[in-house]
Structure formats: C-alpha cells, structure tokens
Structure 1
Amino acid sequence: MKNIEKYSRGYFMPPVKSLKWTEKEYIMEAPTWCSVDLRDGNQALVVPMSLEEKLQYFQLLLEVGFKEIEVGFPAASETEYAFLRTLIEQDLIPDDVTIQVLTQSREHIISKTFEALQGVNKAVVHLYNSTSVAQREQVFKKPKKQIIDIAVTGAKMLKKYAAKTEGDFQYQYSPESFTGTEVEFALDICNQVLNVWQPTADNKVIINLPATVSMSMPHVYASQIEYMSDHLNYRDNVILSLHPHNDRGTGVADAELGMLAGAQRVEGTLFGNGERTGNVDIVTLALNMYSHGVDPKLNFDNIPKIIFRYEKLTKMMVHERHPYGGELVFTAFSGSHQDAIAKGMKWREEKERQYWTVPYLLIDPMDIGREYEGDIIRINSQSGKGGIGYVLQQKYGLDLPAEMRESFGYSVKNVSDRKHKELMPNEIYDIFTNEYVNINTPVEFINYRFTQNDHYETIVSILMNKEEHEFIGVGNGRLDAISNVLQNQLGIHYKDLIYKEHALEIGSGSNAVSYVGITAMNGDVYWGCGIDADIMTSSVKALFSAVNNMIVKLQLPVEKKVIFSNGS
C-alpha cells in the first residue's frame, strides 16, 4: 500500500517491563461491569434515543444485571438532564444500582452536573480531560503542567460540589486518550488527582484508563495497565477500570488482557455500540468468561430477546456473524462441520458428559436462548449428509440409515444449488417425502395377507396400469415373501436388500417408519421409505417405494408372469 511512511506507532511502552499478566491462564472472576450504552453508545447513534427510549433501555440494562450504569452527560443537553432527573424523581434506580454521569473539568459543567444529581441515592461522577501528546499539542496547545492543573482543579471542584449536594458520590477520573499518552505522565496526572481525593477503604475512587483510540496490539495495552496498577498511589483503595474502544478490532482482547494485568472494572456496551468502530462488547466479554466456566454475573440467557429490544431502541443491527448474538454464529452449512456437530450431539446424549465439548460449538446455544432446531445446522448446497440427516431427525424424527443419508444428501444439495438458496427444514422434508415416502407408481401396493408353515406365504394385491392383481409369494420372512413376488413374478430384479425400522415419535402418533435400500443389477442403489401405523405395512411400503424409484430411474419394463386371482 502507498504512504506507509506517514504512519508511526503513536503509543508508549512503560519505562519498565510489565509482564506478570502473561503468567495467568484466564480471567478467574467477573469484573465490575459498567454499561455506557446510554452515554457513549447513545451519542454514537445516528438518531440518539428519546427520553422514553432511554427509560426502556435503562430497564433492559437492569434486567441484564448491570449494577453500574452511565446514564449520560447531564450538562450536555436538555434530554440528558431530563433523563437523569426522571430516574431520580420517579425513583427508578434500584437500591443496589449506581448510576454514573460524565463531566468535563469545567466549573459550569460540574455545577450543572451536580444540580442534575440532587437527591440521588448513589452516583459515580466521572471527571475527564485529555492527556495525549496529540491532544496537548494540537487541540489544547498546553504543556504537561497545565494539563495536570486542569485535572487537579476539576478534582477539587468535584469535592466542593459533592459536599453541598444531597446524595452519596464516588469519584472517577479518566486521562482521556490514555493510549496516546506517555505512561509516566498518565501515572503522574492520575496520582495527583488521587492526592486530591485521598481515597480510603470505605470511600474508594475509580481510575479509568481508556483506549479512547486503540493504537497498539493488546499486549502493549496490558503492559501499560499493569504498570499503572503497580504504581498508582492508594492502590488498595483504587478501583482500576478499563474503557477500550475497538479501532483496531481488538477491543475484547484489550479488555481481557487488561483484566489479566490488574483491572477490576470494565466499561462497555451491549454488542459494542459506540463512536467509530465502537466500544468493547460486553456481551462477548461476558460470554467468553462463561465459556471458561466463570460466572460473568450478567444475564444473557435469552440473547434473541435482548437483541430484539436492542435493535428496536437503537436502530442498530446485530450482525449475523457477531460473536454469540449473531443469527448465524452457531450455524454450520459445511458438510464436514455438520457431520461432526451431529455426531457430537449424539455422543453427548449417549454419554451424558458433564462438560460441553461438542465440536465447533464453543458453548451450548440453548444456554443463551438459541434453539438447536434451525440454529445449529442449516442446509444449502455446501451441506453434507450428516447435517441433512440431523435436521430430519431433530425436526421430524426420521433416523435415516447412513447409506440413505448420503443418497438423500445429494438430492438436497442439488435442489439448493439449482435454486441458489438455503433450504428450510420443511423444504427438506418435502423433498424427502416426494422422493422416498410411500411411492406408489408405477406399481402400487394395495394389501397383503400371510400364512406361516415352514415358511411365509403371502397373497399380495398390487395395482398396475389401473388394474388390481393378486400374486402369491413365498419366503423366509414376510418382507422376503413380498420381495420374491416382485422379483419372480413381475421380473423386477435387484439384490442386497438393506432394511431399517423405528417408531416415528415426532408429530405422528403411533406411526412406524421403515427404510429399504435395494441394489440394481447395474450396481446402483435405490431407496424407499414407508410410513404407516402398522410396522409391517410400513416395511412393505418402503420396499415398493425403493422398487418404484428403481423402475422409473432405469425405465424397467414390468411384466406379469404368474397371476393368482379368485382362488384359481
């Protein structure tokens, strides 16, 4: 690509190596989650939410289980101010939930913020000012000392206004654009703010280190976080928080490694909504922990319902491939994937294993409100016999023999390929029934009756060319006797009969289903399926279906050789 020389690495490594986080295998407990959907997420919407929509979204966040929710920037607009006052005056904030508000380090904004907070039970007041080299040089045109003065002055004003405002307040400071700030300077400005607030065990403060713009690989951010964690003043009384954005597509990785490096709190949004490429996605973060057997302390057991409400209120769409939430993330179209999933599901059912280990599925879709039917295996021209067979079994109770699944799989793939579309389960079932089930032309089975001596003897009624005939057959078993009628008296020759039967337990009362495969004299295999309340009748119908498929495909003549009729 052109112009690569114009780009440099604008981030800063810590002055000493900070790599203790690399020794940890996984995140062992959930952080404190803070949703910033109603502030950071809302300001990034093409059309920000109305007051009523924000109230509905706030309720959604409560149902998910957030205990800290940033509700806005009350000094920024009348809607933001009114929303906060509505929450307080209508007593809509549960006792165990803390709201958070954002303010710049400017006195008229801080004053307006505390005015909006009057009478709140508990609130985090989030103070920020930008500290990066680019912002200092290009926007503020101020040296480091004056940037520190902005933060320290703001910290003092928070204490002043909190002291004369009814409510319980916790302080939070963010060196905005932390990732573009020299780490030593970020540490200096945070420590000077901490010296103003002097946190205690009973009155902890939050230091939030945002990847306002994600600038480095995740391991660099983790090293920055670990250095800050190791060197902050009052560390035992500081809650170290992250606010990763997703400019490089690494927001989740930044947060995960940052937690390994010492962060105790994460600010983010549902499905990653936010400015530019968005905030860190809390759904993904939480369910990543869940996949490791760690309780994320958030409730995502009905993802489809959450997505419906999220999309309705934000007018944003959750992408089909979005981790965990996307419509297709548990879906396999590939034949080999489908086969492995189907076998894994069957193995789990038979073995009753404690741990979820189904191939290709990180977690059990049912645990987050997704359905096996229609979610896991979907059929198109890339699908294989295992997936197609799985759909028929799960949806319709049809457990096809392995050889028949392969034959039917080609039929389904050909239809999907010809139509250039995914096939729904009902379409697959229709193809199966039209091609295999109770096929009665050109030779239609009508009825039979048996007698048994040393062998089975049958009189079977058959309709051909609109004429009914009766034939006598003898065999080692009932199906063999009828098969001998077809071969010896109608001249329909085949070999290697394959047979399988089972009860049809889905949607059919007490019906039975049988499958028959026959090998034509040229080596091709033809299949049929019979469904009937009587297991023997279903077997006969399956045989006739297979024979009819062979006759039609090979254009075989059907000749009447010996006819038994009216007892003569």
Structure 2
Amino acid sequence: MTDNKIHIFDTTLRDGEQVPGCKLNTKEKVELALKLEELGVDIIEAGFPISSPGDFTSVNEISKIIKNASVCGLTRAVQKDIEVAAEALKYAVRPRIHTGIGTSDLHIKAKFNSTREDILRRAIQCVKWAKNFVDDVEFYAEDAGRTGNEYLARVVEAVIKAGATVVNIPDTTGYCLPHQYGEKIAYLVNNVPNIDKAIISCHCHNDLGLATANSIAGIINGARQIECTINGLGERAGNTSLEEVVMIIKQHKDMGFYTNINAKQLNPLSQLVAETMRMPVQCNKAIVGSNAFSHSSGIHQDGFLKDALTYEIINPAEVGAEESKIVLTARSGRSALAHRFQKLGYQFDRNDIDVLYQEFLLIADGKKEVMKEDLESLAKAHTKELAV
C-alpha cells in the first residue's frame, strides 16, 4: 500500500454509542452523521442493523442522506446479520458491510467452543455472504491483538481471497504495546501474499491508554485506515480518539501521511457529540478539552506571552477552539497578571504590578481561580490609593 492517505473510519455512532447512557435515537444519529460527513470522514459506521429495529432504521436513514462518505453496517459472521445489514444499506451510495469473528485462541475456545480451522471457514464464509450484496467488504479479526501472528496471517490471506477489501486488525481489549501492535501490522504486510489487494485497518481500544499510540504505530507499519470516535468514546475505556490521530498526522508531517479531515470543525463537533450523547469531555482531554489551550503556571504563562510556540504546538483556531486562556491561580506570575489587567483596560507599570501582585497572591491562595471581578476590585482599590 503506497498511498499515504489515511482513511478515517468513524464509529462514534456504533462503538461510541455503546457507552452506557450514550444511546442515540434516529434523529440524533442522522444529525451527527451529516456533521461527520461535513468533517470529512471517509467511512461512517452507522450502527449494527440487526441489533434492534431502531438501529436498523438509523442505518437505513443515514444511508439515504450521506453522499460522499461510505456508510457501514456492522454484523457478526452470521448470514441473517449480513442480509439485514444489506437491506439497511440498500440506499447507500457507497455501502460497506463490516463482518468478522474472533480469532484469538481465547475467543475461539471460550467464546465459540470451536477450533482454528472452523473459525477460518466461518471467516471465509461471512465475507462471501457479504460480497453477494456489496463490493466493499471489511473483515474484522476480533481480538487480533492477542491472536498469534501466523494464524492471523492465514485468516487475513483467506478473507482477502474471498473478497474482503479491508482487513481490520482490532486490539479489542487494548492489550498491545505500540511496538507490539506495529510489529503485528508489519508481519501482515510482509507475510500475507495478497495484502496489496486490501487496506489494513487499525481498531484500537484504550483500556491501557494506548489506543492512539497503537493506531499511529499501525499506520507507520503499513495500515492505511484508522477506526476512531469523536472524543474517544467507546466500549469500556473508549476507542482511539479521532481528533488525536488527525492532529498527530497533521503535526508530524515528516511521517508523510494526510487525511481529508477539516480540523477547524473538530472542537465544534466534539461539543455537539458531548451534548447529544450526554457525555461531557474531560477538561484535560487532548485537542478538545476545555483546558487544552489554558495556561496557569507562571513559567508557562511567561513563555507563552513571549511566544505562543513555547508552550503550544497547535494554534487553537486550527482546531476550531476558542483563543488560548491565561488562567490566574496562586501559581501564576507577574507577567500573566499584567497581561490580564491590560486585557481589562488597565495600564499599570512594573511598580504597580509588584504591589498588585502581593494583593493578588492573598486572593489566589484562598480560591481555585482569580476571576475578572477579583481583578476589577484589585485594580479599583489600587487606583483609588494612587489618587489619594
């Protein structure tokens, strides 16, 4: 795979919706799907059609309105699942069926009470069933992260031969270290004879906080699709965060990759997803958290005010965020205090700031953040003192 475009497969509406309390109705799914297409994602996994009548309707409605992105429906390696998904996707301009089965020995024995040979047969069969309905078939090898590489390569070769256009290598439990996941992708690139006939996809979970790192390791080693969600929502500890991988690729141009994502829409869409799915974004979340472009340490504030690049590698406007914030706390310094007074319209010299700073620290030690009204009170009291 020589093309360096990274296909962004968004599964906010499917895996992201599996977060307890984040259930979406059809109207909400349709609204978010339109925003995801506007964002520039390549594939929208709209749901799991056989799971409920509501999800079938959602996938069906989304398939009617999305014109540029592929619309994908998830299935198990079950003929009925695949037939229902095909029916739900019948209006899609670019339909994709995402089917597969667990391939790790743990899944084969504990989950399926089966054998490697039987799972291989079922993997081939589900792809052939899907291929009867759509040209674009993605196969997932569930728990690939804990699947032996040799057996995984056999499965991947067989499903590509059966017609799979994308092979998904999920780290379903978030178990892999980045070098392990990268080596797994590299093994497939080097040991599957027909791998050039399919795109390798990364679907990483965040149980150990490594989903983003593993996905990047995957593309460095030959994968060309990343499966991710807005705000990193997903089963258990979540999925790979769309905004993180997109901005890593954008920042590290030396890797040579690119996406079609309009980064300026990342923050607005993050907020919409948080509101719609009733799941607030943690304030220290990379790229889209409320503190992502906030500075409270005096050393950081001083450097930032001299040159933003000292402490910010991304301009907030680049990801559609509000301008950077200088937050005043007991850790803040004189330059930040002077800056905030200046923003409020006060022109104090260095001697004034030295005096005001001592008063400021008394307030700051007693509360989490010194607010605008506190500064106004300080400034007025100091101005009155000077006038006496």
- Does the 8 Å CA contact 1:179/1:210 hold for their aligned counterparts? yes
Check the 8 A contact 1:122/1:169 in 2, yes or no.
no
Question: Kindly tell me: are residues 340 and 376 of structure 1, through their superposed partners in 2, closer, same or farther at Cα, counting changes over 3 Å?
Answer: same
Residue 240 of structure 1 pairs with residue 200 of structure 2:
yes
Residue identity opposite 2:32 in structure 1: Y
CA contact 2:60–2:88 (8 Å) conserved in 1: yes
- Normalising by structure 1, what TM-score? 0.64
CA deviation vs aligned residue, 1:105-157 (integer Å, no higher than 9, x gap): 11122222222222432111111100111111212121111111110111222
Q: Is it true that 1:430 corresponds to 2:381 in the alignment? A: no
Tell me by how many angstroms 1:404 deviates.
3.2
Q: Which amino acid aligns with 1:74?
A: P
Q: Secondary structure at the match of 2:219?
A: helix
Counterpart of 1:102 in structure 2: which amino acid? Answer: L
1:312 and 2:312 matched:
no
Q: Which residue among 362, 372, 376 is the counterpart of 2:313?
A: 362
SS of equivalent to 2:41: coil
Instruction: Give 2:161's aligned residue.
Output: 195
- Report the CA distance shift for 1:43/1:371 in structure 2 as closer, same or farther (over 3 A): closer
**Mapped pair 1:92 → 2:43:** no
Post-superposition offset of 1:302 = 4.6
Cα displacement (A) at 1:410: 2.1
Query: What is the aligned partner in structure 1 of residue 122 from structure 2?
Result: 150
Name which of structure 1's ranges 169-178 and 226-235 shifts more when overlaid on structure 2.
226-235
Which residue identity lines up with residue 65 of structure 2 in the other structure?
L
Tell me how large the CA RMSD over aligned residues is: 2.0
Deviations, residues 323-357 of structure 1 (Å, cap 9, x unaligned) = 01111122121111111111224xxxxxxxxxxxx
Question: Hey, what's the Cα distance between the residues in 1 that align with 2:211 and 2:356?
Answer: 45
**1:533 paired residue number:** none
Which residue of structure 2 aligns with residue 141 of structure 1? 113
Are residue 68 (structure 1) and residue 17 (structure 2) matched?
no
Residues 1:172 and 2:115 aligned together: no
Give the SS at the match of 1:431: helix
Higher mean displacement: 102-111 or 269-278: 102-111
Q: Which residue identity does 1:366 align to in structure 2?
A: A
Distance in 2, Cα, partners of 1:35 & 1:416: 43
* Deviation (angstroms), 1:229: 1.5
Q: Find out whether 1:387 has 2:350 as its counterpart.
A: no
Q: For structure 2, list consecutive stretches of 5 or more residues without a partner in the other structure.
A: none
Question: What one-letter code is carried by the residue in structure 2 that aligns with 1:406?
Answer: D
Whether 1:280 aligns to 2:240 is: yes
**Corresponding residue for residue 82 of structure 2:** 110
Q: Which moved more, 1:363-372 or 1:47-56?
A: 363-372
The one-letter code sitting in structure 2 at the alignment partner of 1:315 is: R
Q: Structure 2: how far apart are the matches of 1:400 and 1:196? A: 74
Query: Residue 315 of structure 2 aligns to which amino acid in structure 1?
Result: D
Q: Do the aligned partners of residues 119 and 47 (structure 1) sit closer, same or farther apart at CA in structure 2, a change above 3 Å counting?
A: closer
Cα displacement (A) at 1:383: 1.2
Pick the aligned partner of 2:364 from 416, 420, 430. 416
Deviations 1:427-449 (A, max 9, x none): 313312222x254xxxxxxxxxx
Q: CA deviation at 1:44?
A: 2.4
Q: In the TM superposition, what is the alpha-carbon distance from 1:305 to its structure 2 partner?
A: 2.5
Select 1:378's aligned residue among 320, 327, 341: 327
Distance 1:64 1:403 in 2: 50
Distance 1:47 1:217 in 2: 29
The answer to whether the 8 Å contact 1:385/1:408 transfers is no
Deviation at 1:408, TM superposition (A): 1.8
Secondary structure of 2:51's counterpart equals coil
- Give the TM-score normalised by the residue count of structure 2: 0.93
Q: Deviations over 1:441-485 (max 9, x none)?
A: xxxxxxxxxxxxxxxxxxxxxxxxxxxxxxxxxxxxxxxxxxxxx
Residue number in structure 2 paired with 1:210: 170
AA at the equivalent of 1:329:
A
Ranges in structure 1 where 5+ consecutive residues have no aligned partner: 1-27, 163-167, 200-204, 346-357, 440-527, 529-544, 549-568
Give the AA of the match of 1:370.
A
| Structure with more contact order per residue of length (Cα contacts < 8 Å, sep ≥ 6) | 2
Instruction: Specify whether residues 56 and 406 from structure 1 end up closer, same or farther in structure 2 by C-alpha distance, changes over 3 A only.
Output: same
Secondary structure of 1:278's aligned partner: coil
Higher helix fraction (1 or 2): 2
Q: 2-side partners of 1:30 and 1:400: how far apart?
A: 52
- Large movers: runs of 4+ above 6 Å: none
* Cα drift, residue 255 of structure 1: 0.7
SS at match of 1:171: strand
Supply the distance in 2 between the matched residues of 1:236 and 1:264 (Cα, whole angstroms): 11
1:289 deviates by: 2.4
The Cα offsets for residues 481-506 of structure 1, whole Å up to 9 and x where unpaired, read as xxxxxxxxxxxxxxxxxxxxxxxxxx
- 2-side partners of 1:296 and 1:396: how far apart? 41
Letter aligned with residue 245 of structure 1 = H
The count of aligned residue pairs is 383
**3-state SS of the aligned residue for 1:82?**
helix
Question: Which string of whole-angstrom CA distances, capped at 9 and with x for unpartnered residues, describes residues 480-539 of structure 1?
Answer: xxxxxxxxxxxxxxxxxxxxxxxxxxxxxxxxxxxxxxxxxxxxxxxx4xxxxxxxxxxx
Post-superposition shift, 1:291?
2.7
Aligned pairs for 1:324-335 within 5 A: 324-335=287-298
Greater radius of gyration (CA): 1
How far off its partner does 1:206 sit?
Answer: 0.4
Alignment CA distance shift 1:185-1:323 (3 Å): same
The structural deviation recorded for 1:303 is 4.5
Paired AA for residue 283 in structure 1: E
Instruction: Tell me what 1:122 maps to.
Output: 94
In the TM superposition, residue 97 of structure 1 has moved relative to its aligned partner by 1.5
The CA distance in 1 between the partners of 2:353 and 2:260, in whole Å, is 43
Deviation sequence 1:267-314 (CA, Å, 0-9, x none): 110011000100000111112223335754212325543233112211
Q: Residue 224 of structure 1: SS of its match in structure 2?
A: helix
- Asked if the contact 2:288–2:321 (Cα under 8 Å) also holds between the matched residues in 1, the reply is no
CA distance in 1 between partners of 2:270 and 2:142 (Å)? 30
Provide the secondary structure at the position in 1 that maps to 2:227.
strand
Which range moves more in the overlay, 396-405 or 240-249?
396-405
Q: C-alpha distance in 2, partners of 1:61/1:318?
A: 18
Letter in 2 for 1:211: D
Secondary structure of the 1:75 match is helix
Which amino acid in the other structure matches residue 379 of structure 1? L
CA pair 87-367 structure 1, distance change in 2 beyond 3 A: closer
CA distance in 2, matches of 1:385, 1:303: 34
**Counterpart residue type for residue 129 of structure 2:** M
Letter in structure 2 aligned against 1:387 = A
Q: 1:29 to 1:149 in 2, by over 3 A?
A: closer
> Residue in 1 aligned with 2:355?
407
Is the 1:129–1:151 Cα contact (8 Å) retained in structure 2? yes
Identity of aligned residues (%): 23
